């Protein structure tokens, strides 16, 4: 596996094997000198072993020191804050150690945790990162070209060595369907992603002093999950981004195994506070507090961790490894701040509710905000209000009352899906009641029916809107990620609001700033697509598109007398079903399609009739998206609510090299697809409309805009 280091750093030295290393000495050196050198080498080896032990297991109390600045107690500008004493902090450490010991005594639980993906990679590489911390600190976070040059030079040799040491299968790069130029073509042009290495959850998005900020889970050392820091980028328009230095790194005992997901809250006096999960040196998940080092710095480049961290330990009824990802806090009429943390209890997903008057001393409530049986671990919780009248105007997280609904969202750790439920929040009893328990959290609505996870929203007071970020993971192999030197992107930021027409859904739509990226337009209109028709959109070569297409709703124009057998509806969104046949559908778009259609990603509608009722499905068929065999080609789909008054079916499909984001019926349903063409790359990609149904379908309009590339830079390189 390759390490994206600066050009002057010798990557091979980081992987130096002491078992195979040898030294050649001159025969003129006396026996005594040889003996002295041998003794000296033994002494140095023992010293290194001791230091390595301390690096991995923690230094004794007397030897501990801080790698980064913490917030002094007298510099926290909050009224009524009760600072923790050093003795309290030591007591907190003792409690985390006790929790970890009890976890280890429960062999089953500990073994289960050890198989968790968050730990498997982390412990394997923590030694390497700590041994070469100075090298990693100089990693080329701000220079992707140097990173890629180094990665390509050493990827295969490094991968083979590391794979053997970890008993992983060795990936033969000669069998890859992509050369390095083709792998570069899979990198997105206008979706946010770091210049190199691994990214996952969006963290603490916010708007402050004229700039948007996006923090994110980031491994600055490799293109896979590992020892996680907080990456940080800034923007004036949510589209063009500048990378700034890492906001927080795992340099304290309470986050030494990872600075995990968190949220931002603006307090009443304007203070910006971040709560985040730390994974301690004893493998306990705790909640920590951080503040900007300079609140007047519009870039928010430096962050200080509160000296009294952690501010919260796991409650006794949950496992120490099932307590993470605090929400943005909201202020109640009683003057208390509240927030939730995700967990599970006896297989049930739970949102643990806490309150505080000073943002330091938190008290657990006597009830959970919400609990759903059998849904497993809830992570990356989000809780926010939306206007009941369906206005797209957003409101702050602390708003409540008869004019609002509340949205509770959880990322389901078992399924890696984001579910939401809409309901009512009682601001006096601090309880949440879903509008419809048949579609309760984990059983009903999803933000996205494709590759979209660990989402986080924030209130944008500049645009008076609620904006949602979500993580799009890779679907190819880890070996390919290592070879290309990067992994994962963020979905386009979406504005989100309540759908007053259905009274059950949220609407999600790309922020309006994305429209500024549109360039030349290609159109079709008033075309009847007979059964079996495939039509190329003239001039549609390219892999960066923003497409809006509408079809006449065949059911709304008097065709409901046609019938098909009762079926398992969503089975028609399964693998290869874009080539199936029904009365109405499949019909829609083929994007990222090769000229001969050997590769294609189909986005289509399909109508089914069950128990006398017509249902509209939307599907993304990725079974032919790539000729490569080592990629996930899962197909996705969902039922789409279509109202009787709606005479048109609409799709907005945004294509960005290896990403396809689909918004259906104005954003009632969203599907994100991750595809890896081998032929349909760059200008070899084509756009088609098709109808595989037996009945003709009327295409009312299609407008396809080419989308310009967004050049993202490190802040330091544009000064």
Cβ contacts of residue 332 below 8 Å, gap of 6+?
338, 355, 398, 427, 430
Query: Between the CA atoms of 256, 259, 265 and 267, what dihedral angle is there, to the nearest 10 degrees?
Result: 20
CB 127 within 8 A of CB 14: no
CB 232 within 8 A of CB 147: no
Burial class (CB in 10 A: 0-12, 13-18, 19+), 390: middle
* Annotation marks residue 294 as catalytic: no
CB 340 within 8 A of CB 327: yes
E strand intervals along 209-362 = 211-219, 229-235, 242-248, 259-266, 272-279, 285-292, 303-306, 330-331, 337-345, 348-356
Distance CA 10, CA 650 (A): 54
Which neighbouring-strand residues pair with 639? Answer: 617
CB 664 within 8 A of CB 670: yes
84: tokens are: 């923790």
* Region of 347 on the Ramachandran plot (φ > 0 left; ψ -120 to 50 alpha; else beta): left
Q: What one-character-per-residue DSSP string does 80-91 give?
A: T--PPPHHHHHH
Cβ contacts of residue 650 below 8 Å, gap of 6+?
548, 549, 550, 551, 664, 665, 666
CB 384 within 8 A of CB 495: no
Of the residues 10, 79, 184, 201, only one is catalytic, namely 201
Distance CA 208, CA 364 (A): 30
Cβ contacts of residue 35 below 8 Å, gap of 6+?
none
Burial class (CB in 10 A: 0-12, 13-18, 19+), 21: exposed
Catalytic site positions: 201
């Amino acid at each position: 596996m390759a390490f994206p280091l600066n050009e002057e750093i010798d990557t091979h030295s980081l992987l130096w094997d002491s078992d195979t290393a040898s030294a050649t000495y001159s025969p003129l050196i006396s026996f005594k000198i040889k003996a002295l050198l041998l003794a000296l080498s033994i002494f140095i080896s023992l010293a290194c072993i001791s230091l390595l032990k301390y690096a991995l297991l923690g230094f004794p109390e007397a030897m501990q020191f801080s790698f980064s600045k913490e917030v002094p107690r007298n510099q926290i500008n909050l009224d009524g804050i009760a600072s923790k004493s050093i003795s309290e902090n030591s007591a907190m450490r003792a409690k985390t150690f006790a929790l970890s010991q009890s976890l280890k005594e429960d062999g089953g639980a500990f073994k289960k945790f050890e198989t968790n993906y968050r730990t498997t990679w982390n412990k394997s590489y923590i030694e390497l990162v700590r041994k070469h911390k100075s090298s990693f600190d100089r990693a080329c976070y701000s220079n992707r070209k140097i990173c890629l040059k180094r990665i390509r030079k050493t990827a295969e040799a490094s991968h083979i060595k590391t794979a053997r040491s970890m008993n992983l299968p060795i990936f033969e790069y000669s069998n890859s369907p992509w050369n390095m130029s083709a792998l570069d073509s899979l990198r997105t042009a206008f979706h946010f992603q770091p210049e190199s290495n691994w990214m996952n959850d969006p963290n603490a998005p916010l708007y402050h002093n004229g700039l948007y900020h996006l923090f994110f889970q980031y491994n600055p050392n490799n293109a896979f999950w590992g020892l996680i820091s907080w990456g940080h980028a800034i923007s004036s328009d949510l589209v063009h981004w500048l990378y700034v230095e890492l906001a927080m790194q795992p340099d304290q005992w309470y986050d030494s195994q990872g600075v995990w997901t968190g949220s931002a809250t603006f307090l009443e006096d304007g203070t910006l506070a971040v709560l985040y999960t730390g994974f301690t040196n004893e493998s306990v998940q705790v909640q920590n507090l951080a503040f900007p080092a300079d609140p007047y710095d519009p870039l928010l480049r430096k962050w200080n961790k509160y000296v009294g961290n952690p501010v919260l330990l796991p409650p006794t009824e949950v496992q120490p490894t099932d307590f993470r990802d605090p929400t943005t806090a909201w202020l109640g009429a009683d003057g208390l701040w509240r927030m939730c943390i995700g967990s599970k209890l006896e297989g049930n997903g739970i949102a643990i509710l806490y309150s505080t008057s000073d943002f330091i001393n938190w008290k657990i409530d006597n009830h959970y905000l919400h609990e759903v049986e059998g849904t497993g671990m809830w992570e990356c919780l989000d809780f926010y209000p939306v206007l009941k009248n369906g206005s797209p105007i957003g409101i702050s997280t602390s708003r409540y009352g008869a004019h609002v609904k509340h949205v509770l969202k959880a990322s389901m750790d078992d399924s890696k899906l984001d579910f939401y439920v809409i309901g009512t929040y009682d601001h006096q009893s601090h309880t949440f009641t879903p509008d419809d328990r048949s579609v309760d959290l984990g059983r009903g609505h999803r933000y996205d029916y494709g590759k979209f996870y660990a989402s986080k929203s924030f209130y944008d007071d500049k645009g008076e809107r609620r904006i949602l970020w979500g993580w799009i993971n890779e679907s190819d192999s880890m070996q390919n990620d290592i070879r290309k030197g990067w992994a994962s992107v963020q979905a386009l930021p979406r504005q989100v609001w309540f759908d007053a027409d259905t009274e059950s859904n949220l609407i999600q739509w790309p922020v309006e700033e994305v429209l500024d990226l549109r360039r030349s337009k290609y159109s079709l209109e008033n075309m009847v697509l007979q059964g079996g028709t495939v039509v190329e959109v003239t001039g549609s070569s390219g892999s960066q598109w923003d497409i809006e297409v509408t079809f006449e709703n065949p059911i709304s124009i008097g065709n409901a007398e046609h019938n098909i057998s009762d079926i398992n509806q969503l089975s028609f969104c399964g693998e290869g079903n874009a080539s199936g046949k029904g009365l109405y559908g499949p019909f829609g778009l083929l994007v990222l399609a090769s000229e001969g259609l050997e590769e294609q990603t189909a986005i289509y509608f399909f109508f089914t009739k069950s128990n006398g009722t017509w249902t509209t499905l939307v599907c993304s068929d990725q079974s032919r998206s790539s000729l490569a065999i080592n990629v996930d080609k899962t197909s996705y789909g969902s039922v789409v609510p279509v109202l009787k008054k709606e005479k048109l079916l609409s799709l907005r499909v945004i294509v960005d090299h290896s990403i396809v984001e689909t918004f259906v019926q104005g954003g009632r349903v969203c599907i994100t697809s991750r595809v890896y063409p081998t032929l349909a790359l760059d200008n070899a990609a084509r756009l088609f409309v098709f109808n595989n149904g037996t009945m003709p379908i009327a295409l009312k309009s299609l407008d396809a805009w080419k989308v310009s590339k967004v050049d993202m830079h490190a802040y330091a390189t544009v000064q």
